[in-house]
């Protein structure tokens, strides 16, 4: 657990982990925490400012902004996490198969990935949402369809490093089955890297999904979602700018915590990066690979 120890030494990382964990927990327990039902319309309280019963005030239908913010965690963060998990899972399975067995399987899978990756991310999402219709489910589906290829590509590279290791060859000679080798010798080594890769995509996915909701392509009307809340606040942006601040700040806090977390994980995984100024020489290829990751994200 060297990785974990190194991670805990980084205070900023622990703080951002706390923020992310708290957000997830609040989202999961939304009905217990939210002071009011999120869709309760109360027209006398239209645009009311903050009070003791409504901590963040009320929106254009008199709904409690704090409660909507809390319920908004579900589509804005929790469901994105689920989509990310699904994409990472499919990508990991295919990446393992391609990276471990190599040969023709690898070639076919990678050509497939090439095709998928030749559609720029945003365009693919819009295409799927355009054909299936607007809605949160379709956006999440689009994310999974779009992201698995990228995960498969990156995870394959990771797996390949270990698939050639001497201890893996030794295990093969001993007659341990493919599944056993993958489970016992490759997965434990590759999993932390997969975690880093997945976390680096999380922040930009949260931003994208709220952006699509902001455009009206996401979740349907009465449900609370951060991008949607900002879209609703847009019409009164000039008279009541504070209505845009609450969901905006929520997104900034969550996304920057996620990004910090991912950076910290990466540093914990590869301490050489921290020393980059002093010793480690990062070759052009490595930078480019990192960049491709960013792009796909």
Partner 1 sequence: MILYTLKRIVALVPLLVVISFLTFILNGLSPMNPAEVVLHAQGVPTITEELIASTRVELGMDRPLLVRYGDWLLSCLQLDFGNSYITGKPVWSLLGPALLNTLKLTIISSLFIIVISIVLGVVCALKEGKWMDLSIRGISFFLTSMPAYWLAALMVWCFAVKLDLLPTSGMGSAGSYVLPVMVIVIGYAGIYFRVIRSSMLSNLNDDYVLYGRACGMSEMKLTLYVLRNSLQVAVSVFGLAFPIILGSTVVVENIFAWPGLGTLTVKSILGRDFPIIQAYVLVLAVAFVLFNTVSDVMNVAMNPRLRKEL
What residues make contact with partner 1 under the rule CB under 8 A? 114-115, 118-124, 126-134, 203, 207, 210-211, 214-217, 227, 230, 234, 237-238, 241, 244, 248, 251-252, 255-256, 259, 276-284, 287-288, 290-292, 294-295
- Answer yes or no: are the C-beta atoms of 268 and 107 closer than 8 Å: no
Residue closer to partner 1, measured from CB, 175 or 285: 285
Residue closer to partner 1, measured from CB, 28 or 252: 252
- Answer yes or no: are the C-beta atoms of 210 and 225 closer than 8 Å: yes
Minimum Å distance from CB 152 to partner 1? 17
**Segments of 51-106 assigned E as strands:** none
DSSP state of 237: T
Torsions phi, psi of 29, nearest 5?
-100, 25
Torsions phi, psi of 283, nearest 5?
-75, 155
> Exposed, middle or buried by CB within 10 Å (0-12, 13-18, 19+), for 196?
buried
HSE-CB of 98 using CA atoms within 13 angstroms: 23
Residue closer to partner 1, measured from CB, 31 or 271: 271
Residue closer to partner 1, measured from CB, 69 or 181: 69
Minimum Å distance from CB 297 to partner 1? 9
C-alpha distances (whole Å) from 27 to each of 77, 218, 236 are: 8, 19, 27
Minimum Å distance from CB 143 to partner 1? 15
Minimum Å distance from CB 200 to partner 1? 12
- Answer yes or no: are the C-beta atoms of 59 and 47 closer than 8 Å: yes
Minimum Å distance from CB 252 to partner 1? 5
Reduce the DSSP state of residue 58 to 3 states and report it.
Answer: strand
Residue closer to partner 1, measured from CB, 158 or 208: 208
Residue closer to partner 1, measured from CB, 169 or 235: 235
Residue closer to partner 1, measured from CB, 59 or 96: 59
Minimum Å distance from CB 11 to partner 1? 16
Alpha-carbon distance of 156 to 121, in angstroms, equals 20
Minimum Å distance from CB 79 to partner 1? 17
Other beta carbons within 10 angstroms of residue 287's beta carbon come to: 10
Radius of gyration of the chain (CA): 22
Reduce the DSSP state of residue 235 to 3 states and report it.
Answer: coil
């Amino acid at each position: 657990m060297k990785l974990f120890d190194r991670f805990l030494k980084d205070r900023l990382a622990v703080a951002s982990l706390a923020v992310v964990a708290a957000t997830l927990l609040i989202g999961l327990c939304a009905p217990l925490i939210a002071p009011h039902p999120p869709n309760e319309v109360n027209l006398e309280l239209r645009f009311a400012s903050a009070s003791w019963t409504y901590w963040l005030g009320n929106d254009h239908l008199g709904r409690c902004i704090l409660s909507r913010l809390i319920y908004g965690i579900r589509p804005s963060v929790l469901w994105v996490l689920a989509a990310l998990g699904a994409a990472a899972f499919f990508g990991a399975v295919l990446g393992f198969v391609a990276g471990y067995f190599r040969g023709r399987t690898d070639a076919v899978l990678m050509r497939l990935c090439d095709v998928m990756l030749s559609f720029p991310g945003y365009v693919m999402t819009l295409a799927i949402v355009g054909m299936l219709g607007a809605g949160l489910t379709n956006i999440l589906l689009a994310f999974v369809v779009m992201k698995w290829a990228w995960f498969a590509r990156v995870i394959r590279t990771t797996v390949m490093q270990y698939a050639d290791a001497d201890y893996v060859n030794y295990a093969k000679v001993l007659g341990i089955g493919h599944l056993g080798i993958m489970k016992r010798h490759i997965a434990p080594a590759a999993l932390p890297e997969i975690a880093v890769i997945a976390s680096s995509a999380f922040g930009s996915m949260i931003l994208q999904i709220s952006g699509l909701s902001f455009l009206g392509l996401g979740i349907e009307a009465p449900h609370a979602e951060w991008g949607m809340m900002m879209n609703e606040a847009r019409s009164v942006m000039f008279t009541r700018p504070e209505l845009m601040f609450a969901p905006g700040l929520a997104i900034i806090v969550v996304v920057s915590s996620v990004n910090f977390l991912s950076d910290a994980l990466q540093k914990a995984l590869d301490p050489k990066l921290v020393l980059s100024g002093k010793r480690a020489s990062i070759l052009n290829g490595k930078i480019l690979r990192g960049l491709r990751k960013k792009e796909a994200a």
